[in-house]
Amino acid sequence: MSNPEELNSERPNPEQRPNAEPPNAERPNSEPPNAERPNSERIPPFADNWAYLKTELAWLDRLLMVAVSRQKRDLHELDDFALTDEDRVTRHWWKGIINFTGQPGYDNLRPPKTPRSGGGSYVQQLEARIVISQRQGVVLALPQLRDRLQLTLFEKNVLLLALAPEVNQRFGRLYSYLHYQHDESDWDLPTVDLCLRLLCRNDQEWRRSRPLIAPNSRLANLGLVEWVNPEDTTLLSRHIRLTDDLTTYLLSEAPDPDTLDTWTMAPAMPAPAAASEIPAATWQSLVLPDPQLTQLKTAAAAARVTDGSMVLLAGPSGTGKTLAAQVLAAELELLLVMVDLATITPDLEGNIPELEDLVNLPPCVLLLKNAPQWFGRTPTADSALVQSWMIQRRRQPGLTLLASPYLQSIRPAWRQAMAGVIEFPRPDAAAREVLWKRAAAGVKKDRALTWPHVAKQLALTGGEIVTLAQTAVALAQQTEPPVLTLDCLQQALALHHPGMRLTKASKGRSRRAKPKEA
């Protein structure tokens, strides 16, 4: 194990470091999203790729030195107090109960929050410099890789941790010291455990981030990282190393953007909480009344000329809100990112770690499902944090869609802040007939089964029709030849909607006019 005093002696002179240092080095994501954004006119661009790397490595250096200082303090306290081997073994029980520093305790188990200085967080300042540099034609390898592959902030920082020993062996010695009591081997590469300890602030972030560096993660499947000792050890004990091709690219004097094709052609794993793609849906796939179709086309036209446009989509589940988002993304030729707000919960301090990822999204159509969770009358998130994120989101290119089952579930103040409100009605009988024909297309239908009769009797939404039709078609595939019959539909109905009944059609039936399609 390396001597921490020797590590400190090799530390660079702080006066020679770049100006963009984090206000809270051990918690790179801890700044609130409502911090004042830096003035772009006062922030200089990076001269080249190496100038950017020096800034990032200076941040990592300070992050590691804080961790080293804490570990030295813990070991010193342990040596002062522990008299026997039993004391050392049970230190996790008594540490935190016995206070060595004489500082006062707090009833709520955490000290009061200290006021933060303004000027924007380190992440915001860094991102501002990256944007300015890119506008001036400066190619920055790691930000370019992050944007092309849509890496999260955690994934990007993992790559930085693994890259650092390739630049300066001092980082490897710091890793070796921090592995003490966790890994007795003298490795100069970070372990999965060390990445999680350094980059995660709480258990919630730890649980969310661990799958991002698992064997089936995007970083592994894209060929960005590899494990040096993958056999006979736990995931947390594995050491992460960048592939040679990626290391060469990230350390290039003039990174070649074409090199990114090496990794973008590989099968990427979707993010666990969001789906990102450019959909192929067209206006013809929507079955909606003319007023709603006109509103959607107007929203698309406005999004082309205005950054940060926000539209509220209100309507029961299955009425076409998600499909409309896909159509808008295809029309605007943007990625579609879907986030379910019901799956995001604040941490113990009331912060929302996911806001950082939502701030750093590339140009896209962002669909926020279950919008009342943040924008309703009884939100689960702090309104001030959400308001701050909304302000930042309005400055970014793209379109933001809020999906809610009921218009009244969204607070009036939020509804007034929207560029538009589009209400999705439940389909009438004529629209349901069109939906049934599309859902069951490609399978032979029995004559006794007529879609006008089914559409009239079953008052379902488009999503419910698709689910019911898929089950009925699956039952029909079990017969030879496959024929969709009334009995198949009744069995599917008994499974999904046991309270509904479907009777045989009478001979004297009348057909209603079909709705207009886009």
Residue 406 lies in a domain: yes
Mean pLDDT, range 3-28, rounded to an integer: 41
**pLDDT-derived band of residue 148, with 50, 70 and 90 as boundaries?**
confident
**352 alpha-carbon distance from chain centroid:** 12
Query: Which of 80-89, 144-153, 307-316, 348-357 holds the top average pLDDT?
Result: 307-316
CA atoms within 13 A on the CB side of 211: 8
Residue 26 lies in a domain: no
What the block records as the tokens of 71 is 């570990």
Mean pLDDT, range 129-156, rounded to an integer: 85
Residue 97 lies in a domain: no
What the block records as the tokens of 445 is 């239908």
* 304 and 383 belong to one structural domain: yes
**Using an 8 Å Cβ cutoff, are 334 and 309 in contact?**
no
**Using an 8 Å Cβ cutoff, are 340 and 321 in contact?**
no
* 187 and 142 belong to one structural domain: yes
Distance separating alpha carbons of residues 213 and 299, to the nearest angstrom = 38
**pLDDT-derived band of residue 102, with 50, 70 and 90 as boundaries?**
very low
- Which one is predicted more confidently, 386 or 278? 386
Residue 268 has pLDDT above 80, yes or no: no
- Which one is predicted more confidently, 71 or 376? 376
pLDDT of residue 77: 57
Residue 43 lies in a domain: yes
* 400 and 356 belong to one structural domain: yes
**pLDDT-derived band of residue 88, with 50, 70 and 90 as boundaries?**
low
pLDDT in tens, 25-36: 344 443 433 344
Residue 32 lies in a domain: no
Count structural domains, the chain: 3
Distance separating alpha carbons of residues 293 and 517, to the nearest angstrom = 9
Residue 100 lies in a domain: no
Final residue before a domain boundary, out of 423, 445, 470: 423
Final residue before a domain boundary, out of 264, 291, 323: 264
Range of the domain at 376: 274-423
- Which one is predicted more confidently, 273 or 495? 495
Distance separating alpha carbons of residues 465 and 340, to the nearest angstrom = 23
Residue 98, judged by CB atoms within 10 A of its CB (0-12, 13-18, 19+), counts as exposed
Long-range pairs for 346-352 at CB < 8 Å and ≥24 separation?
346/380, 346/381, 346/382, 347/201, 347/202, 347/204, 347/205, 348/202, 349/110, 349/113, 350/382, 350/385, 351/30, 351/32, 351/385, 352/33, 352/381, 352/382, 352/385
- Which one is predicted more confidently, 123 or 358? 358
* 302 and 368 belong to one structural domain: yes
Final residue before a domain boundary, out of 236, 264, 292: 264
* 367 and 220 belong to one structural domain: no
pLDDT in tens, 192-227: 888 988 888 887 778 878 888 887 777 887 888 887
What the block records as the tokens of 254 is 């003039």
**pLDDT-derived band of residue 499, with 50, 70 and 90 as boundaries?**
confident
* 348 and 436 belong to one structural domain: no
CATH of the domain at 458: 1.10.8.60
Lowest mean pLDDT among 77-81, 187-191, 257-261: 77-81
**pLDDT-derived band of residue 16, with 50, 70 and 90 as boundaries?**
very low
Residue 493 has pLDDT above 50, yes or no: yes
* 141 and 205 belong to one structural domain: yes
Q: φ and ψ at 473, to 5 degrees? A: -65, -40
* 138 and 52 belong to one structural domain: yes
What the block records as the tokens of 233 is 């050890």
Residue 515 lies in a domain: no
Residue 14 has pLDDT above 70, yes or no: no
Percentage of the chain modeled with pLDDT above 90: 25
* 196 and 278 belong to one structural domain: no
SS3 491: helix
pLDDT in tens, 64-83: 888 888 877 766 655 555 55
In the 3-class helix/strand/coil scheme, how is 249-287 assigned residue by residue? HHCCCCCCHHHHHHHHCCCCCCCCCEEEECCCCCHHHCC
Distance separating alpha carbons of residues 301 and 352, to the nearest angstrom = 32
- Which one is predicted more confidently, 203 or 117? 203
Residue 507 lies in a domain: no
* 308 and 450 belong to one structural domain: no
Residue with tokens 């056999």: 231
Residue 461 has pLDDT above 90, yes or no: yes
Percentage of the chain modeled with pLDDT above 70: 74
- Which one is predicted more confidently, 266 or 430? 430
CATH of the domain at 416: 3.40.50.300
* 240 and 313 belong to one structural domain: no
**pLDDT-derived band of residue 298, with 50, 70 and 90 as boundaries?**
very high
* 303 and 409 belong to one structural domain: yes
As a whole number, the mean pLDDT across the chain is 77
SS3 398: strand
